[in-house]
Chain A
Amino acid sequence: MTWRSAVLTLAGILVATAAALWLFERQISAAWFRLGLQPELLATLESSLEDQKQLARLDPARRAEYHRRFETTRGLLQHLQILEHNRREILQRYEMVLLTLVGGVLVVAGTVHLVRQGRRERRIARLRDALSQLSSGRDDVVVGDRGRDVLGRIAAMIEETSRIIARDRRRLAALQNLSGWQETARRHAHEMKTPLTAARLELARLQQLAGGEAPPPSDEVRQVAGSVVEELDRLGRFAQELTGFARLPRPRRERHDLGKVVADFAGTFAAAWPNLDLRLEQRPEDGDFTVEVDREMLRRALVNLCDNSSLARKEGRGTVTLRLDGTPRDVVLDVSDDGPGIPDEVRPRVFEPYVTTRQPGEGMGLGLPIAKKILLDHGGDLELRRTSPAGTTFRLLLPRPEGAS
C-alpha cells in the first residue's frame, strides 16, 4: 500500500464517519432532544401546576402538600424552559463534543495507521534489500526483523534461505575439495600398487631362487628378506588406505531410527577401544530421529571419530558421549570426548586429508575426511563443534526425510 492509497483510505474513513455522525445527529440525538422538550410535555406540566393550585383551593387542609408538589413541578418546568431557550446552543455543544471525540479518535487512528504504514514500508524496503542481496549471491543475509506477522515470517524465511545456501555452498566446497583429494589418492594408490606388486613378485622369486640353492641362505639374508616383506606390507596397507579413501562407495540409504542405530553401535563397539567408555544420551527421550542412512557407512564414520579419540588419549580412560538431538530440519548427533582437544594449528584444516597429529607411519590423517565425506554424501555434514583441553565435540547433521517432522 502506498502513501497515496493510505491517505485515500483515511479520507474515505473520514467522509464515512462524517456521514455517520451527521445521520446520528439528525436521526437520533436531535430526535431525543426534541422528545425531551416536546411542547406537549411543557403544556402538561403547566396544566399540572394549575391543577395543584386548584386542588389546594378545593382542599385547603392539604395545601402544603399541593404546594410542595407544585414547587417540584415548577422546578422541572423551569429547567425545561431554560433548556428550550438554549436548545440551539446545547445541540451545537453536543455536536461539537461528538465531533471532537470522533475527530480525536480519527486523528489517533490515522496517526497510528500512518506510523504503522511507514514502519511497514521500511520493513518491506529491508526485505527488498535482503532479497536483492540474496539474488546477487550473498549467503550472509541478515534482515533483522523479528516481527511475528507475515513480514517477520518472510524475513525469517529469507535468513533461513541464506543460511541454507551458505551451508550448501560450504558442503559443495568441501565435497569438491575432498573429491580432488580422492582423485589424488586414487592416482597415488595406483602408482604405488604397480611397483609394489612388481616388488612383491620379484621378492617372492628371489626367495624361491634362494630356497633352491645349497647351501641355504644365511640367517642375515632371511632377516633382510623378512624386513623387506614387512615394509612392503606396510606400503601395501597405505596403498589400501588410499584406495579406501579414493573409492568410498555411494551410500545406500535406508530409513532408520538413528537412536537405535547409535544404540546398536554403542553396544557392539563397547569393548572396541580399551581406553574408552561409550555413553549414549538422547534428547528428547521420545523424539523422532528417523533418517535415511547407510548404517555401515555411518558406523564407519563413528568408528573413525572414536579411533581419533582413543589415539589422542595418551593415558588413562576416557568417555565418548553420543548425544542425540534434533532440529526441525536435521537430526543432530554430537560425539564428544574428554580428551586433550585438537591443537590450534590443526583446527582450521582438521577435515583435510593427510592432516594428522600422529607420528609418521601411525596414520595418514584420512579418518576425519572420510567421515566428513560420508556425512556429505548423506546430504548432511560433519562439523567441529567445540574443542578445548577439556574435550572435543564433533556434530553429525543428518537431514530429516521428506515429510518427517
Chain B
Amino acid sequence: MRGALTPLMSLASLVSLLCAAPLLAAGPVLQPEGSWVVLAGLPPLLERADVRKQLDSGLTATLAFEVRTTGASPQKLRGGARVDVRYELWEEVYLVTRLDASGKREHLRFDSFEKLGHWWREARLPVLPLPRVAARWPAEVRLQVIPFSQAEQQETQRWLTESMSGDSDGGGNAGAVSQALEDRPASFSQVLQLLMATSIGRPALFEQEWSLAFITGAAKR
C-alpha cells in the first residue's frame, strides 16, 4: 500500500508544480512613479496552495519585498515594502496592513479571497525613492513569505515556556523568555526553557528573487 502511494504522491507533486509554474513565471516590475520607484505586477503567489493555506490559518502572514540595486547601478540603493495579511477567522475577513518605502501605512479589509487577490495583483508598492541620476538601474527584488508575525512568535514562546514550566495560569511565569533574556537566568530549568523557547523562529515559508531593472531621467529618452 505504501509502495503504491509513493509514485502517486510524486505524480501529484509534479502536477502541482506544473500548475504553479505559470503563476510564478509572471514576475513583478519596477517602474518610476512620481518621486518613487514602485513595484507593480506583484506575482500571483497568493494562489499557491501553501501560501493560501497559510493565509487562511488565522496567523499574520508577512509578504516582504526587499529591493536593492546591483551591477552597473550608479548608486547602491536599498528599499522595500511589506504586506501583512491576517485572516480574521471569526469575522471571516482578510485584514491587510500595507507598509511601503514612503512610510505610508495603510489598513485594508477584504471580505473575500478573490478581492484580496485582485488588490494584490493591482497593488503598486513604492519601494525606493526615485534616484535623480538618469540611468538604467539593475535591481534585485527578493520576496519572503513569513508565516507569522513577531508578536505571535513571542506569544507562542511565552506559551511554550509556561507549558514547560507547568505554570498554566498564565501569570506566574509570563514573560519568562524576555525576563531570562534580560536578566541572569535564575535556575537551570529557566535556562532550559529559554533554550527551547528561543528555538521558535520565523522561517520563511517561501522565497523568490527576481532580477529587474528600471530606467530614470535622460536615459529614459
Contacts and interface: CB of A to CB of B under 8 A. Distances in A.
Interface of A: 49, 53, 67, 70-71, 74-75, 77-79, 81-83, 85-86, 89-90, 92-94, 97
Interface in B78-98: 89-90
Interface residues of B, number: 22
B195 A78 contact: no
Given A89-B199, A97-B196, 13 more contacts: A53-B90, A67-B90, A70-B89, A74-B58, A75-B159, A78-B59, A81-B148, A82-B152, A82-B156, A89-B201, A90-B196, A90-B200, A93-B198
Nearest to A50: B89
Nearest to B188: A101
A86 B200 CA distance: 6
Interface of B: 57-59, 89-90, 147-148, 152-153, 155-156, 159-160, 192, 195-196, 198-201, 203, 205
Contacts of B200: 82-83, 86, 89-90
- B interface SS class: loop
Contacts of A77: 58
A78 B199 contact: no
Interface centre among B152, B192, B199 (most CB of A within 10 A): B199
A78 B201 contact: no
Contacts of B192: 97
A81 B155 CA distance: 12
A49 B153 contact: no
A51 to B, nearest CB: 12
Nearest to B192: A97
A164 to B, nearest CB: 55
A127 to B, nearest CB: 42
A86 B201 contact: yes
A89 B198 CA distance: 10
B156 A92 contact: no
Nearest to B153: A82
Contacts of A93: 195-196, 198-199
A97 B191 CA distance: 10
Contact of A78 (B58, B196, B203): B58
Contacts of B156: 78-79, 82-83
A89 B203 contact: yes
A74 B196 CA distance: 23
